């Protein structure tokens, strides 16, 4: 994995994960519950975050699944 910003924070807000995947925050939460997306980390009583490396790995896996014509 060679991403442009190696100094990025290790965690990403749901809004950022949503932007990175182009999927809504609600859909990401549902997919995480179903085991189809990395589960978020509870970082405080009312705050969740996703592990950046896990989200990026998930995106890479989706890209590798496509069929190139």
Per-residue pLDDT 10s for the chain (69 aa) are: 445 557 889 999 999 999 999 999 999 999 999 999 999 999 999 999 999 999 999 999 999 998 776
Identify the domain containing residue 37 by its residue range.
11-64
Q: Is 1 a member of any domain?
A: no
Residue 2 falls inside a structural domain = no
Query: What contacts 14, CB < 8 A, 6 or more positions away?
Result: 25, 28, 29, 40, 48, 49, 50
Q: What is the count of structural domains for the chain?
A: 1
């Amino acid at each position: 994995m060679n991403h442009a910003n190696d100094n990025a924070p290790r965690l990403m807000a749901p809004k950022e994960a949503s932007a990175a995947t182009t999927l809504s925050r609600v859909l990401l939460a549902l997919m995480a519950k179903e085991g189809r997306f990395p589960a978020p980390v509870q970082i405080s009583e009312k705050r969740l975050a996703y592990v950046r490396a896990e989200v990026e790995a998930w995106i890479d896996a989706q890209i590798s699944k496509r069929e190139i014509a």
